[in-house]
Structure 1
């Protein structure tokens, strides 16, 4: 990822004190923050420079500014980690922690009944962003973490979000679809198109997947005050002894309860 041209004019010249210069600072700050992920939680200066494409001097300057702002913290070994200042700000996001706060009591009720993974995800650009996950040891492995991203076609929650996503987003997903990357019933893009139509008609998604490990899922949409789909609630469990269709009523009822509460609290969409 090369962000060195961010905030420059077409001829590469920066306008001192102008919009381009300000945009460059913001772009570079976010490039530094996005260099961190689940596999790279602590980064040294050389790693920051390499992962952002910024010169070492620029990466160091941005890191120092972010430390001063509380967005990064510098450990004793000189490496940088995400700071608590970002968590403090992130809790104000209505589609993240705001949604989670409203949904949590209902997710917990569902979790205690089924003892499987319960996921809550929102659409972010063209991916599903996981905002909550409740898990039990007997629920089996799951790849995704809270704050992590999932391809929209990868599981029940993503398929629900994709079914109600803008038409342009759906068409791009259909063009990129590859068999084996979604539930087993989908062999090609036309299968996916038909499944998305079924999700819209039935207001739920259900399916199973053999790889990378056998699991099944049932999911339903969560709607905001306007009736638009703002999130997807899903249950994921091992195929052995787990019939996802049996959990559709409970999943849909939970999603509807969260939707009603969002409308009552007028949580922004």
Structure 2
């Protein structure tokens, strides 16, 4: 009984802090300074109620008021806290934890990839019970024609990708990769499709019998950080852009991006 009471105490918060926190959420999402009236409306409170919170937040540096316009924005302490939070983030750790949940939800293998010296490189696999007939393991390098590679091609700097493709066409340029090579110009239609859907898709190609969806994870600067890929046998893989698995992948990648400080757009 004592343990239960203690748990209840730990869960009890301070309501006034939670109410005032709505103002900070509004300021964080606003993208710019706001008037007292604008803040109050979006925080769903009256200006008279919002103002004391702003005064207190201002005293500790969470909020700053422009002396000319009178508008409110995030203060120096809020910025310091944000930067400290970003420094503490580990995108790979976040993605690995998310991959476990995603595999349990969709029952397809989930791969995490980053840009390595030889191109898109798998760094972690969360394997499902559905067998896939391909040699996929940490360290595997994927070509830009795979679903994973298309994400890098679509969201990495274009000049860097074009130069990489040109160098990759040399027969001795890089070690064995999964997927065929193509020239940069021929890839543009596929890359535009990726940007339109926010996903890359590969159905039974370039690897026969294997299909995949891939999604980008962005950091707080909007740079591509990690690619999340779900892989499965083509016979049991729904290829529709709006299928449940595709949406689960989008949601998962968006959650990680949000944790990394990137402002995602709801799909």
Give the direction of change, closer, same or farther, for the CA distance of 1:145–1:254 in structure 2 (3 Å limit): same
Structure 2 distance, partners of 1:234, 1:212, is 15
- SS for the counterpart of 2:113 is strand
Alignment of 1:129-168 (within 5 A): 129-146=121-138, 148-168=139-159
The answer to whether 1:248 aligns with 2:246 is yes
Shift of 1:103: 1.6
Give the gaps of 5 or more residues in structure 1.
Answer: 1-93, 265-269
Give the direction of change, closer, same or farther, for the CA distance of 1:194–1:108 in structure 2 (3 Å limit): same
Give the direction of change, closer, same or farther, for the CA distance of 1:253–1:229 in structure 2 (3 Å limit): same
1:221 counterpart (209, 216, 219) = 216
Aligned length: 165
TM-score, length basis structure 2: 0.54
Give the direction of change, closer, same or farther, for the CA distance of 1:144–1:250 in structure 2 (3 Å limit): same
Structure 1 distance, partners of 2:202, 2:238, is 10
Structure 1 distance, partners of 2:159, 2:182, is 21
Give the gaps of 5 or more residues in structure 2.
Answer: 1-85, 171-177, 263-267
2:190 counterpart (185, 188, 195) = 195
Structure 1 distance, partners of 2:207, 2:221, is 38
TM-score, length basis structure 1: 0.53
- SS for the counterpart of 2:159 is helix
Q: In the alignment, which residue of structure 2 is the partner of 1:115?
A: 107
Q: Which structure has the greater CA radius of gyration? A: 2
- Cα RMSD (Å): 3.0
The runs of at least 4 aligned residues of structure 1 exceeding 6 Å deviation read none
Give the direction of change, closer, same or farther, for the CA distance of 1:187–1:102 in structure 2 (3 Å limit): closer
Shift of 1:134: 0.6
